C-alpha cells in the first residue's frame, strides 16, 4: 500500500468481495487487496449510469484503484478494471465456490493487513475457476492454502509429538484438536476416540495438493503456468482418486472448522 502524507491517498489491486447500499446513491464495498488485505471503502454516486466507479460495485470484479483515507470509511475515487472474471458467472457452481472464497476473505482475513500469498491464491483460483469445473479439488486447494497462510496447516511429513519422519509409516493417525499427525509410537499419548486413521495414500495426495496451493500462492500465474496448474487440478480430480480426495477434504474441513471458524463448512452453498 502506497500513501502520501499530504493527501493520504493509496493504491490497491483488489477484488470486490462484499457490498451494501448506503442511502439511495452510495455503496459500502469490501475489497480484498494485495497491498492491505481486507479494506472497507465508500463509493459515491454509483447509481449514475455515467459513474466510472460502477465496475467496482460488481461482486468478484478485480481492478486497480485509488482510495482516499478519511475518518469513518475510506473513499474510493478511481477504479481501473482488470477483469470481472466473466467465466465464473456462467454457472451456479462457480458462483457458489467464488462466494465461499469471498466470504472467507470477508470474515477471516485481517483488516488493513496484507497477506500477499492469500491474495495470489484467491486471484489465481478465480482465474482458473473460469474454465475448470473440478470444484471440489479447487475448494480443497483453497482451504489448504488458507490453513498454510494462517499458520494452521498440519505437517504432512512429521509426527506432531516426536518429530519423526512419517514416510513409509502406515498406521498414522490425526488429531484435529492437537493440530497434526502422530506416529504409531506416539499414539499411546492420545485418546484414540478423538483421532482418525490416515492412510498413506491420503498423506501423499495431500502433498500434491500442497504443491498446487504453493504454486498458486507465489504470484499471479502466467497463462502457461495457469494451464499447468489447471492440468494438475484435473489429474487430482481423476475418478480413481475421488475417495482419497474426499478423505483429505473431510480432514481439512475439520481443521478449518476447529482452528479457523466453526461455521465455515456451512458457507459453501451445495447446488
CATH number at residue 14: 2.40.50.140
Q: Which of 84, 111, 137 is the last residue of a domain?
A: 84
Asked if 166 and 159 count as a contact pair (C-beta separation under 8 A), the reply is yes
Same domain, 66 and 9: yes
Residue 32 lies in a domain: yes
Residue 193 lies in a domain: no
Q: Which of 38, 61, 84 is the last residue of a domain?
A: 84
Residue 186 lies in a domain: no
Q: Mind listing the pLDDT tens digit of every residue in the chain (271 residues)? A: 444 444 589 999 999 999 999 888 889 999 999 999 999 999 988 777 667 898 999 999 999 999 999 887 899 999 999 999 999 999 999 999 999 999 998 888 888 889 999 999 999 999 999 999 999 999 999 999 999 999 999 999 999 999 999 998 888 999 998 899 999 888 765 566 678 899 999 999 999 999 999 999 999 999 999 999 999 999 999 999 999 999 999 999 999 999 888 788 778 766 4
pTM value is: 0.91
CA distance 263 to 267: 7
**Number of domains forming the structure of the chain:** 2
> What 3-state DSSP class applies to 69?
coil
Same domain, 119 and 207: yes
pLDDT of residue 263: 80
pLDDT of residue 4: 45
pLDDT of residue 45: 82
Q: Which of 84, 100, 131 is the last residue of a domain?
A: 84
Same domain, 137 and 212: yes
Helix axes 135-149, 116-129, angle to 10 degrees: 170
Dihedral sign from CA coordinates of 115, 121, 127, 130:
negative
Residue 40 lies in a domain: yes
Asked if 46 and 57 count as a contact pair (C-beta separation under 8 A), the reply is yes
CA distance 53 to 143: 32
Domain range for 247: 91-153+200-266
Same domain, 99 and 59: no
Residue 199 backbone phi and psi in degrees, to 5? -70, 155
CA distance 57 to 81: 11
Residue 189 lies in a domain: no
Asked if 67 and 40 count as a contact pair (C-beta separation under 8 A), the reply is no
Residue 164 lies in a domain: no
Asked if 25 and 50 count as a contact pair (C-beta separation under 8 A), the reply is no
Same domain, 132 and 261: yes
CA distance 38 to 244: 34
Same domain, 73 and 103: no
Same domain, 97 and 225: yes
Amino acid at each position: 500500500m502506497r500513501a502520501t502524507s499530504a493527501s493520504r491517498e493509496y493504491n490497491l489491486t483488489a477484488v470486490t468481495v462484499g457490498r451494501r447500499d448506503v442511502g439511495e446513491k452510495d455503496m459500502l464495498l469490501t475489497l480484498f487487496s494485495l497491498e492491505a488485505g481486507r479494506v472497507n471503502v465508500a463509493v459515491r454516486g454509483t447509481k449514475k449510469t455515467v459513474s466510472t466507479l460502477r465496475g467496482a460495485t460488481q461482486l468478484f470484479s478485480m481492478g486497480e484503484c485509488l482510495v482516499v483515507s478519511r475518518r469513518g470509511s475510506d473513499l474510493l475515487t478511481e477504479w481501473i478494471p482488470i477483469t470481472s472474471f466473466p467465466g465464473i458467472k456462467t454457472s451456479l457452481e462457480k458462483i457458489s465456490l467464488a462466494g465461499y472464497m469471498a466470504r472467507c476473505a470477508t470474515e477471516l482475513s485481517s483488516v488493513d493487513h496484507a497477506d500477499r500469498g492469500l491474495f495470489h491464491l484467491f486471484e489465481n483460483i478465480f482465474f482458473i475457476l473460469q474454465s475448470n469445473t473440478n470444484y471440489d479439488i479447487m475448494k480443497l486447494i483453497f482451504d489448504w492454502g488458507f490453513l498454510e497462510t494462517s499458520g494452521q496447516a498440519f505437517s504432512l511429513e512429521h509426527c506432531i509429538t516426536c518429530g519423526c519422519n512419517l514416510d513409509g509409516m502406515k498406521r498414522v493417525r490425526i488429531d484435529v484438536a492437537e493440530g497434526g499427525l502422530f506416529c504409531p509410537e506416539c499414539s499411546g499419548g492420545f485418546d484414540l476416540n478423538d483421532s482418525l486413521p490416515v492412510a498413506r495414500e491420503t498423506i501423499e495426495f495431500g502433498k500434491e495438493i500442497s504443491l498446487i496451493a504453493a504454486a498458486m500462492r507465489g504470484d499471479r500465474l502466467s497463462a502457461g503456468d495457469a494451464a499447468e496448474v489447471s492440468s494438475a487440478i484435473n489429474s487430482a480430480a481423476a475418478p480413481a482418486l475421488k475417495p482419497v480426495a474426499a478423505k483429505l477434504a473431510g480432514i481439512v474441513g475439520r481443521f478449518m472448522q476447529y482452528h479457523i471458524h466453526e461455521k465455515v463448512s456451512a458457507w459453501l452453498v451445495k447446488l
